[in-house]
Structure 1
Amino acid sequence: MPPPSPSPPRMAAPSPVPPAATALTPLVLACLAATWFVWGSTYLAIKLALVSFPPFFQMGTRFLAAGALLMAWVAWRGGPWPSRRQWGHATVVGALMLGGGMGATAYAEQSVGSGLVVAFIAVVPLMIAALNRLWGLRPGRVELAGIGLGLAGVLMLTQGSGFAASPAGLVAITVACVTWCIGSVLAAPPRAARPEDPAWRRGLPLAPGASGFASEMLCGGAFLMGLSVLAGERPAWPPEPQALAAWAYLVVAGSLIAFNAYMVLLSRASSALASSYTYVNPVIAMLLGVGFAGEVVSAWEWTAAGVVLAGVVLLFVGRRRGAASAAAG
């Protein structure tokens, strides 16, 4: 799910940078490559790691390891430590986004191809836009058209052979998207809401910067390990070398490098460019699944994925028009 994956990240960003201000420097290009290709490849890595690491155990150990490394870095840099209240927020958000979102994603990949899973997850920005109505933010006409088109694409996707053959996988990925979206909206109230507004108080903001993300990973990882115990999961020992390498890739490349690359993009590029991973990742994941894992994607499912991505593009176009109109007004 983005963020995500990392887990693709929460759909929060600083004020948009005008497109003209974005310079495609080597750093920006490297960060784009990380968010496009690394996040797009993590879904295949999850599937490869499932050979030795059951879904909840795999995700739990991944986020505990990444969270511990990131928190150690925060402590070494003398960064702020989360307060007790922020740890509480991290527990709820981590359980939703990482426990439900990423745990259910890995569960779905036991029976559904990684490419189809990430094509379904592409609907997340559309679901977040719909949930933001709870904060009184009503999408414009173009955004509404994008939401409707994306949801129609997801409905088409569920009729394909991949999800039709695995009702449990379909339920799991639906749960993953819903819990990821709820956690995203709670963790990052819309920018239109200010700390003095009631909408902000309904949110659960995390600690600032890397310490907030680290606390979320630690709490979410602990929640996932609890699910692993309840499910009676038993990892294979010794693990297959390929599965161990995939797990390490998820920790380092997926949860640390790509997330930091995304944060750099948010500060140096336009929000539209920084969010471009949303419609690039599904294409990357589907191509990798077909090319390296022997997954089969029908013409109908490719078409459905295209409809979903068209909806996401419309959503971002609508947001940019809305932001431009607000600035002009």
Structure 2
Amino acid sequence: MTPKARVWTALVTVYVIWGSTYLGIAVAGETIPPLLAAATRFITAGALMAGVVLLRGGSLRISRHALGSCVLIGILLPGANAVLFFAERNVPTGLASLIIASVPLWVVVFRLVGRERLPWPALAGVGVGFAGVAVVAQPSGGADGWGIGLCVLSAVMWSIGSVLSARVTMPDDPFAATAYEMLAGGLVMLPFSLFTVHHFSPSTASILGWIYLVTFGSIVGYTAYVWLLANAPLGMVSTYAYVNPVVAIVLGVLFRGEHLTWRLLAGAAIVVVAVAAVVRQEPPAATHPEDGVH
């Protein structure tokens, strides 16, 4: 396989896997309690990611300061994913993906709060993007206000975690950092999930969805993403931010019977264009969340 073919294979892998995690969350959360599904997913994925670190010859030894940072980011980013588990019980996967696609817009907002100077095209993109979110975020078509609100909360948590991760001391190895974040988030959620769980009988589909999230969503997708960062132009890698919701919408229609409306299509176009404009104006590290938690 040529170098160009390897890059495109990895990029399509990120597109498809991270775009399909919304479907995986919906399926896993059908018969597995949301908080339990999220907690066990991240504990398992974190343990597997730690294994990846060791297989690569890396070290899991980090400072106490870095560990504290990983716990903080782990509460925010895996926590945001747990909120999404609850949200997708009341919101179609395509709509959820569009609201989560606003994370780069929220990141810019929080950077403005921190008094950073930003280029005006990025600011214009934020305004246009939130207008697109307002177009799609209407309680109808299988979505209710509670679920939409949870999606927005998830996006805000993701963006806060993204901003903070660039400002606190983190492990140098991104795989080690992600392993600790996943483990921290999962372990914090686990006792709460056990207190809220009653008798449940997970379906085969939900179990397979959970396994998919652990293996592909958290391990394979993230490995492909880190490889791309080292082998492809950042502008190309950043395209996942606005391709993923398109993949999620298509999969929602094909596998969940979700309906496309003119309002959803119009809002999706606005959000995707705005996010593309913002991402291309800013360095990827400044606008993207820690990506191993998809």
Q: Provide TM-score, normalisation by structure 2.
A: 0.90
How has the CA–CA distance of structure 1 residues 206 and 177 changed in structure 2, closer, same or farther, with 3 Å as cutoff? Answer: farther
How has the CA–CA distance of structure 1 residues 24 and 235 changed in structure 2, closer, same or farther, with 3 Å as cutoff? Answer: farther
CA RMSD of aligned residues (A): 1.9
Alignment partner for residue 282 of structure 2, among 292, 305, 319?
319
Deviations 1:211-240 (A, max 9, x none): 11100000011122233234x124633x21
The within-5 A match list for 1:77-92 is 77-80=56-59, 81-92=61-72
Asked if residue 302 in structure 1 is aligned to residue 282 in structure 2, the reply is no
Tell me which residue corresponds to 1:271.
234
Tell me which residue corresponds to 1:171.
149
The 8 Å contact of residues 35 and 258 in structure 1, kept in 2 or not, is answered as yes
Tell me which residue corresponds to 1:236.
200
The 8 Å contact of residues 26 and 85 in structure 2, kept in 1 or not, is answered as yes
Q: Distance in 2 between matches of 1:235 and 1:275?
A: 42
Q: Distance in 2 between matches of 1:218 and 1:30?
A: 29
The 8 Å contact of residues 105 and 176 in structure 1, kept in 2 or not, is answered as yes
The number of equivalent residue pairs is 281
Tell me which residue corresponds to 1:180.
158
Q: Provide TM-score, normalisation by structure 1.
A: 0.80
How has the CA–CA distance of structure 1 residues 63 and 215 changed in structure 2, closer, same or farther, with 3 Å as cutoff? Answer: same
Q: Distance in 1 between matches of 2:26 and 2:179?
A: 24
The 8 Å contact of residues 26 and 88 in structure 2, kept in 1 or not, is answered as yes
The within-5 A match list for 1:1-329 is 25-80=4-59, 81-99=61-79, 101-159=80-138, 161-162=140-141, 165-189=143-167, 203-230=168-195, 232-234=196-198, 236-237=200-201, 239-319=202-282
Q: Distance in 2 between matches of 1:103 and 1:58?
A: 8
| 1:77 Cα deviation after fit | 4.0
Q: Distance in 2 between matches of 1:134 and 1:268?
A: 34
Identity, in percent, stands at: 35
Q: Which runs of 5+ in 1 are unaligned?
A: 1-22, 190-202, 321-329
Q: Distance in 1 between matches of 2:238 and 2:57?
A: 30
Q: Distance in 2 between matches of 1:62 and 1:45?
A: 12
| 1:299 Cα deviation after fit | 1.3
Report the residue type matching 1:149 in the other structure.
Answer: V
The 8 Å contact of residues 109 and 169 in structure 1, kept in 2 or not, is answered as yes
Report the residue type matching 2:217 in the other structure.
Answer: G
